[in-house]
Amino acid sequence: MKLRIMDLPRDYSENDLAKLFKQFGNIRDCTLVMDKESGKSKGFGFIEMAVDHEGEEAIQALNGTKIGKSKIRVKAAD
């Protein structure tokens, strides 16, 4: 199951993102979208969970969670 994570803090790293989701199961892929010019995060990324129900658990647990000053949004990616 592929998830879209939005409103991440700009100083969040791909490792931080993977660590946040690993507590819900195995991750197939983790991608933090970066600005080509500045090299900094654009504030969103994607996680692909190995099993659908683990992705659903992650959505339930993390959607609306506050990380630093940001309240993240987690939903299934289209």
Q: What is the CATH number of the domain that holds 25?
A: 3.30.70.330
Q: What is the pTM of this model?
A: 0.92
Domain residues for 36?
2-76
Per the structure, the count of domains in the chain is 1
Residue-wise pLDDT tens digits, 16-46 = 999 999 999 999 999 999 999 988 899 999 9
The per-residue pLDDT for 20 is 96
Q: Are 46 and 1 in contact (CB under 8 A)?
A: no
User: Is the CA virtual torsion 45, 40, 63, 17 positive or negative?
Assistant: positive
Residue-wise pLDDT tens digits, 42-60 = 999 999 999 999 999 999 9
Torsion from C-alpha of 26, 76, 19, 34, nearest 10 degrees:
120
